[in-house]
Amino acid sequence: MEESLKYKSISYGELAQLYFPKISKKSAAWQLRRWIVANKSLQKNLKKVGFIPGKKNLTPAIVKVLIEGLGEP
């Protein structure tokens, strides 16, 4: 992912599709949720930056924590 795009504000579904480009947006969002739920350390870090499950828009800080916790999409 380009550095300029890395930590911009993005929708949850759009980010999920970057991780899972071959499935629907809805399925990608569910799979991303499963990854987050399975990673307690990531959940803790997301909580620190104000992540609210179910929120559709992600701040650059949340995107940064997700990418650092899950790796590049």
Q: Which of 1, 27, 29 is nearest to 15 (CA)?
A: 29
Of the pLDDT bands very low, low, confident and very high (cuts 50, 70, 90), residue 5 is low
Question: How far is the first Cα of the chain from the last one, in angstroms, to the nearest whole number?
Answer: 7
How many structural domains compose the chain? 1
Instruction: Give residue 3's pLDDT.
Output: 52
- How many C-beta atoms lie closer than 10 Å to residue 15's C-beta? 19
Rounded distance between C-alpha atoms, residue 42 and residue 34, angstroms = 12
Provide the pLDDT for residue 4: 45
Residues 9-66 pLDDT 10s: 999 999 999 999 999 999 999 999 999 999 999 999 999 999 999 999 999 999 999 9
pTM, to two decimals: 0.87
Boundaries of domain holding 11? 3-70
